[in-house]
Amino acid sequence: MTPLRVALLGCGASGRLWRDALADHPSFRLRAVADLAPRASDANAGPADPARYDDVRLLLVEQPLDAAVVALPPAAAESVLAVAAERGVAVLKETPVARTFEDAGRLVAMFHEADVPLAVASRWRFDRPLVERLASPHLATIRAAVAFASADPGTELGWRGEAQRGGGVLRDVGYDLLDLFVALLGLPGDVTAHGGRFAATAPDRFDAEDGATLLLRYSHGAAATLTAVWRPGPVTREAVFVGSGGVLRLQPGSAEFHSDDGESLVVRPPTDADLRHAVLDQFAEAVRSRPAHYPGRAVDQLRTAAVFDAAHLSRCTHAAESPVRVYELAGLPPPRITGRERLAPV
C-alpha cells in the first residue's frame, strides 16, 4: 500500500516525538516539516531529509499532502488548520483541540464542510484494550470518579504558561483525563473550578495557573473530581472509576479492573512510543477510508471543550457554571445526548 504523504507542523518537544513515530511508521512518508522558529538541528539537515519550512502555511500550499500532524501551540494552529481544511489535508492534532469552545466549534465545522478527517490525539481514545474495558457493562453507570495528574513543566513553559494563548496546567496535564471523564459520564450539569499560581515559576513571564481542581456534578447524582498540578518529577496520571458493577483503577504502570461478581483483570498500558504508533495506525485508517466514526474525532471532544470553558468561567465567577451555557453563548444547540459516548473500538 502506498504510504500517505504527511507533513509535521511544529518541531518542539512534542513534535520531535511525533517525527520519530512517523519515521518508523510504514503508513506514512514524511514529506516536509515546519516550525515557527529555526532550530539548531536544522543546520545538520541532509539532502535526503524532508523539506524544511519556517512558514507553516506555505508548506501546506506548496507540498502535495494527504495528512499533517500538528504539534503547534493552540493559538498558532488555528490559521494553519484553516488552510489544511481548505487544501483537503487530513489533520492529527496534539491536545488541546483548541483554546476555546468557539474555536473548537469553528474547526469542527471547517473540516466537516471540507469532508476531511480532523483527529485529536487524546491518548486514551486510541488505546484499544483500555477502550474495550471502558465499554464493559460493569461500568455502564459511573457513580463516582476521581483523578490526579502531574508533570514537570520544565524551565521553558512557552505557550503553556500564557492563559491568553490557551495555556495552563489543566489543558497541558489534565486534558486526557478530563476528556475521559466527559466520554464516560457525559456533559455535567455544572462545573466548579479552583486554581491559581502556587509556585514562583517566572511570575513576570507567565500567568496561567499551575494547579487546578475541578468538581463535575451530574443530574443523576454522580460526581467527578480532577486535580492537575505542575511539579518536579515524572508524569503521573491516576484515576479511579466506580461503576454500577465494578471499579476501574488507572495508574502509570497498570489498568486494574475488579467487578462486583469477582472478575479481576490487570492490563499493562502501552509505552508512549507504542501508543503514538497506535494513534498513527488508526489515523491512517481514517485518512484512507474516511469513515463516519473514527478514534479521536474532534467533534467528539466539543463537550470536553465546553467543560474547559465552564471551568474557566467558574474560576472567574467563583461559582458553579454550566457547560450547556457555553453552547448557548456560542450560539450552538447543546448536545441531545448527554450520556457516555460511543466507546467501542472502531
Q: What residues form DSSP beta bridges with 255?
A: 250, 267
In 88-232, alpha helices (H): 101-114, 128-134, 169-173, 175-185
In 24-157, alpha helices (H): 56-62, 74-87, 101-114, 128-134
Question: Is the per-residue pLDDT at 177 higher than 90?
Answer: yes
| Residue 268 confidence class, pLDDT cut points 50, 70, 90 | confident
25-65 pLDDT, tens digit per residue, is: 999 999 999 987 665 445 444 445 799 998 998 999 999 99
Q: What is the mean pLDDT of residues 80-92?
A: 96
Q: What is the mean pLDDT of residues 3-13?
A: 94
CATH 3.40.50.720 domain span(s) along the chain: 4-124
90-115 pLDDT, tens digit per residue, is: 999 999 999 999 999 999 999 999 99
Q: How far is CA 147 from CA 33, 73, 109, 199, 307, in A?
A: 36, 25, 32, 21, 16
Between 3.30.310.80, 3.30.360.10, 3.40.50.970, 3.90.550.50, what CATH number should domain 128-267+297-329 receive? 3.30.360.10
pLDDT at 40: 40
* CATH class label, 4-124: alpha beta
125-157 pLDDT, tens digit per residue, is: 888 888 877 777 877 788 999 999 999 887 778
pLDDT at 43: 43
CATH 3.30.360.10 domain span(s) along the chain: 128-267+297-329
Query: Average pLDDT, whole number, for the chain?
Result: 88
Question: Is the per-residue pLDDT at 159 higher than 90?
Answer: no
C-alpha cell at 289: 477510508
Q: What proportions of the chain, in percent to the nearest 5, are helix, strand and coil?
A: 40, 25, 35
| Dihedral over Cα of 312, 318, 321, 326: its sign | negative
